Amino acid sequence: MDTNDSLRVASLWHSMHAISQQLSPTTGCSEIELLEANTFDLHCFQSLTGTKFFVVCKPGTQHMEALLKVVYELYTDYVLKNPFYEMKMPI
């Protein structure tokens, strides 16, 4: 995906995420974790700070939640511990 496609997917996901919180029939629903399509699966992990991590994979790929948690751990170790990093700065 190029930059424009990435921005479109992120914008669409943000909108669906906000709408799903309001329309969910279950109380306490806070996020969408998986979007299943015919040709791909889109997994999302949202950290406590609100940063979202995504992975696009083939349908039915296993252990993507664990992968996203590892990516988040790496993010916290290498990005957030960087004294020159500022929030909302591109990674």
CA distance linking residue 69 with residue 46, whole number of Å:
10
pLDDT digits (tens, 9 = 90+) for 1-50: 788 887 888 888 888 877 887 787 777 777 788 889 899 898 999 888 78
Give Cα 75 distance to the centre of its chain: 13
- pTM, two decimal places: 0.76
Q: Which of 3, 85, 11, 4 is nearest to 49 (CA)?
A: 85
**Assigned CATH for 3-80:** 3.30.450.70
* Residue 59 to residue 36: CA distance in whole angstroms: 7
